[in-house]
A and B are shown apart, each in its own frame.
Chain A
Amino acid sequence: MVVPINKELTRANEIIENYGCDQSNLIAIMQEIQAEYKYLSEDTLTLIAEKLGVSTAKVYSVATFYENFSLEAKGKYIIKVCAGTACHVRKSGPIYDAIRDYLGLTGKKKTSADGLFTLETVACLGACGLAPVMTIDGEVHSKMTPEAALALLEDIRKKEDAAV
């Protein structure tokens, strides 16, 4: 199947070509595309396979192997609660639960219904001295409590509401 390079895919196409369509850069290419689109769509995966001259199955197998790749669209803000040892020992679990409750997430759902937040855990951010930590769009918030975490989200929500 040949994917027509529509407007949606031009940026992805550029990224692949910047890497010289080199197969060994597959992971780097997917990282950059994901940074751009926030996830890997079926079309981008097919495009990558085509341009690198590998099977779609191979691209899919790599995309599903690594935790960082997401095949689903994510929320506007990505929250990562650290579940590393140091954070676990200093009670990061209740923070995660509180945010989950706040966002009304159940089962395998990770993104809030309004598409604003995606909640994930991360193995260890290496900021163990500041445990427990969480990040919102890469910005580290240290020595968190469930209350402080919810206050941060509340602020973002207010800002978003005001912007509408």
Chain B
Amino acid sequence: MRRAKMTRDSFHVFQANARNALKQSEQVPSVLICAGTGCIAGGALKIYDNIKAECEKRGLQVYVGLKHDTDEEKSLHVKMSGCHGFCEMGPLVHIEPMGIMYIHVKPEDCHEILEKTVLGGEIIDRLVYHLDGVAYPRQEDIPFYKKQHRVVLENCGTSDAEDIEEYIAKGGYSGFEKALFEMTDEEICKTIMDSGLRGRGGGGFPAGRKWDGARKQKSPKKYIVCNGDEGDPGAFMDRSIMEGNPHSVLEGMMIAGLAVGSDEGYIYVRAEYPLAVSRLKAAIAKAEEYGLLGDRIMGTDFSFRIHVNKGAGAFVCGEGSALTASIEGNRGMPRVKPPRTIEHGLWAEPTVLNNVETFANVPLIVRNGVDWYHSIGTRTSPGTKAFALTGNVVNTGLIEVPMGTSIREVVFDIGGGIRGGKKFKAVQIGGPSGGATTASQEHLDLPLDFDSLKSIGAMIGSGGLVVMDEDTCMVETARFFMEFTQKESCGKCVPCREGTKRMLEILDRIVANKGTLEDLDLLEELADTISSTALCGLGQSACKPVQSTLKYFRDEYLAHVVDHHCPICNREKPHPTIDAEACKGCGKCRKNCPMEAIEGSVKKPHTIDPEKCINCGACVSNCPFGAITAAKEG
């Protein structure tokens, strides 16, 4: 169906109608099934089908979009929403208007949910989230959600991601409309500058300054590029936004287009996010159908088109100049800067490149104003930040908190502490480009914002928070990240290509308990050299995990290089065991054990104390009876 072109007036009419429809929809019970990647993996699509089938059986009218007439008495609103963030508990099902949230829902629960809860108003205790013996049937009461402040992700869990009408009913595209008709390019840039919005992709560069720089470029062609190449392992905020609220990303890019005078945008999405690609493409098609994207939007001179490009599996493409090279169809390798991307970006034209979450913040700032934005977060880092909370924490998932929230609040209040009652050790912030914080009081109370984290050598990065417990060896963790960056190094500059390889070799050696004290100095020297000479951000920050663990967890390095025995790594490995039947009690193993870990008296079977054993294997080779079986190397 070809729609009449949207004008400003018809947009207002459409908006008013959509709002009415939303209000009416809120009168009827609705079932929201989380359709993020996590819940889909858990069977959310089957649940959606089952709920619909159950309704049909009862002759209930099912609305998929917003409800427009109130004639039907028995009706139900069934929709798939974006990610709720509590992926650990998925698949999640929400029932409105009661505000009930069910966890770990199975397709066979649908009958009961419809019968008891939707129609009967009764809560099914088995599907409710429990913590410490307390049931939390309503989402807003669950501790995981209580300390969160959802702004960018607000619509993610409550709206149908593919429904443009619902987005508009909730205020969507009104920021763009305001910018289009009521603001000059300069005013838009000033608004973003005044809001203090800083790039959510890692560095925290003020977005407004970037925009204003691109605006001042005298070029007939400019580009807006959205970086959805969320490569940091352990981060999935951008994926959730693209999947759960794709229109907010488009709207942010369109406002950027107005601000700098660009008519074309690209979204570069990781190949590993197929759902995000299809949702974005569907959203673009819808916006074009409604005349919100395309030529001469709402009858003005402004035209804007958006393309979606799929990455092909290169971490380095998250770097600006590598990303634009990849869009152009080249090897995604960074180039020397300056000239900066705002001067010489995609196809050598001035380009504004921001991250997904940054663009998603823009419509909210334009719509709600600068003062509103400054009322959230800290002075130098206003607004909220989405984090992917993962690792050895009880509640993993996607969270959004005001900037400046302490690590303690995130790990213990929202995250619910450490799994299995273990001790908290560290949080790795910012993935392979970030650093670790410790369990010290000072670090736990550290506010999560751009500047505080920088002061201790970590960075927000893309926002992955990986929590580690006492069983995690930090040297092994540093080695893991180094292996990642080494593998993903594009090979263009020598410091990164050669340096990370050598650092990985040293770390391998240390983890295998074959390192020396000198190796630690060498690591530090290499890290200094690489971070000051590598070509791009990936290389410059590649050493951060090593540098910060060397600073805060030096004793663990020392355990590896001085004692040649790391109690944490060792705990994981099985130890040699003595076969009591074959052992003659000769005592040779006891005499040869460097750790005095073997006990036993003459002519009696000996035993090995696993707490003391370092798996050196001396007992195995010294046993004349073959009674000791070696541990398999882990």
Residues of A within 8 A of B234 (CB): 84-86, 124, 128
Q: Do A88 and B480 touch across chains, with their CB atoms under 8 A apart?
A: yes
Q: Do B88 and A68 touch across chains, with their CB atoms under 8 A apart?
A: no
Which among B236, B332, B484 is the interface contact of A123 at CB below 8 angstroms?
A: B484
Question: How distant is the Cα of A84 from the Cα of B38 in the complex, in angstroms?
Answer: 15
Residue of B326, B329, B390, B472 with most chain A CB atoms under a 10 A cut-off: B329
- The reply on A61 being an interface residue by CB < 8 A is yes
Q: Do B391 and A86 touch across chains, with their CB atoms under 8 A apart?
A: yes
Question: How distant is the Cα of A116 from the Cα of B203 in the complex, in angstroms?
Answer: 44
Residue of B86, B274, B391 with most chain A CB atoms under a 10 A cut-off: B391
**Are A67 and B312 CB-contacts (below 8 A) given A62-B329, A123-B484, A130-B90?**
yes
**Are A84 and B233 CB-contacts (below 8 A) given A65-B331, A68-B271, A129-B390?**
yes
Residues of A within 8 A of B37 (CB): 125-127, 140
CB-nearest residue of chain B relative to A59? B329
Which among B326, B484, B488 is the interface contact of A27 at CB below 8 angstroms?
A: B326
Closest chain B CB from A49 CB (angstroms): 12
Which among A28, A129, A138, A141 is the interface contact of B310 at CB below 8 angstroms?
A: A28
**Are A130 and B233 CB-contacts (below 8 A) given A27-B312, A138-B274?**
no
Q: Do A31 and B274 touch across chains, with their CB atoms under 8 A apart?
A: no
Contact with B along A140-155 (1 / 0, CB 8 A): 1110000000000000
Question: How distant is the Cα of A139 from the Cα of B46 in the complex, in angstroms?
Answer: 14
Question: How distant is the Cα of A138 from the Cα of B271 in the complex, in angstroms?
Answer: 11
Q: Do B313 and A123 touch across chains, with their CB atoms under 8 A apart?
A: yes
Q: Do A142 and B41 touch across chains, with their CB atoms under 8 A apart?
A: yes
- The reply on A83 being an interface residue by CB < 8 A is yes
Question: How distant is the Cα of A124 from the Cα of B273 in the complex, in angstroms?
Answer: 10
Contact with A along B320-347 (1 / 0, CB 8 A): 0000001111111100000000000000
Question: How distant is the Cα of A33 from the Cα of B43 in the complex, in angstroms?
Answer: 30
**Are A141 and B41 CB-contacts (below 8 A) given A62-B331, A89-B392, A128-B234?**
yes
Q: Do A126 and B236 touch across chains, with their CB atoms under 8 A apart?
A: yes
Residues of B within 8 A of A68 (CB): 271, 312-313
Question: How distant is the Cα of A65 from the Cα of B322 in the complex, in angstroms?
Answer: 12
- The reply on A95 being an interface residue by CB < 8 A is no
- The reply on A105 being an interface residue by CB < 8 A is no
Contact with A along B74-87 (1 / 0, CB 8 A): 00000000000011
**Are A130 and B312 CB-contacts (below 8 A) given A85-B390, A124-B234?**
no
Residues of B within 8 A of A88 (CB): 233, 480
Q: Do B329 and A125 touch across chains, with their CB atoms under 8 A apart?
A: no
Question: How distant is the Cα of A124 from the Cα of B233 in the complex, in angstroms?
Answer: 5
- The reply on B249 being an interface residue by CB < 8 A is no
CB-nearest residue of chain A relative to B85? A129
Residues of B within 8 A of A24 (CB): 327-329
Interface residues on B, range: 35 or more
Question: How distant is the Cα of A139 from the Cα of B37 in the complex, in angstroms?
Answer: 10
Closest chain B CB from A24 CB (angstroms): 5
- The reply on B309 being an interface residue by CB < 8 A is yes
Residues of B within 8 A of A123 (CB): 231, 233, 272, 313, 315, 484, 488
Closest chain B CB from A128 CB (angstroms): 4
Q: Do A27 and B272 touch across chains, with their CB atoms under 8 A apart?
A: no
CB-nearest residue of chain B relative to A133? B41
Residues of A within 8 A of B468 (CB): 89
**Count: A-B pairs, CB below 8 Å:** 133
Q: Do B329 and A26 touch across chains, with their CB atoms under 8 A apart?
A: yes
Q: Do B41 and A124 touch across chains, with their CB atoms under 8 A apart?
A: no
Question: How distant is the Cα of A129 from the Cα of B233 in the complex, in angstroms?
Answer: 12
Interface size of A in residues (CB-CB distance below 8 Å): 39
Which among A27, A31, A124, A140 is the interface contact of B235 at CB below 8 angstroms?
A: A124
Residues of A within 8 A of B329 (CB): 23-27, 62
- The reply on A39 being an interface residue by CB < 8 A is no
Q: Do A62 and B330 touch across chains, with their CB atoms under 8 A apart?
A: yes
Question: How distant is the Cα of A3 from the Cα of B88 in the complex, in angstroms?
Answer: 52
Contact with A along B484-510 (1 / 0, CB 8 A): 100010100000000000000000000
- The reply on B95 being an interface residue by CB < 8 A is no
Task: List CB contacts (< 8 Å) of B102-139 with chain A.
Answer: none
CB-nearest residue of chain B relative to A32? B310
Q: Do A67 and B313 touch across chains, with their CB atoms under 8 A apart?
A: yes
Q: Do B464 and A85 touch across chains, with their CB atoms under 8 A apart?
A: yes
- The reply on B428 being an interface residue by CB < 8 A is yes
**Are A66 and B314 CB-contacts (below 8 A) given A124-B231, A124-B232?**
yes
Residue of B272, B327, B397 with most chain A CB atoms under a 10 A cut-off: B272
Question: How distant is the Cα of A25 from the Cα of B330 in the complex, in angstroms?
Answer: 10
Residues of B within 8 A of A83 (CB): 233
Residues of A within 8 A of B328 (CB): 24
Residues of B within 8 A of A30 (CB): 312
Residues of B within 8 A of A140 (CB): 37, 40-41
Question: How distant is the Cα of A61 from the Cα of B331 in the complex, in angstroms?
Answer: 7
Residues of A within 8 A of B466 (CB): 85-86, 89
List 24 A-B pairs, Cβ < 8 Å.
A24-B327, A24-B328, A27-B326, A28-B309, A30-B312, A67-B313, A84-B233, A85-B391, A86-B390, A87-B233, A89-B391, A89-B466, A124-B231, A126-B270, A128-B388, A128-B396, A129-B88, A129-B396, A133-B41, A139-B41, A140-B37, A141-B41, A142-B41, A142-B42
Minimum-distance CB pairs A-B, first 7: A129-B87, A84-B233, A67-B313, A66-B312, A126-B236, A85-B234, A140-B41
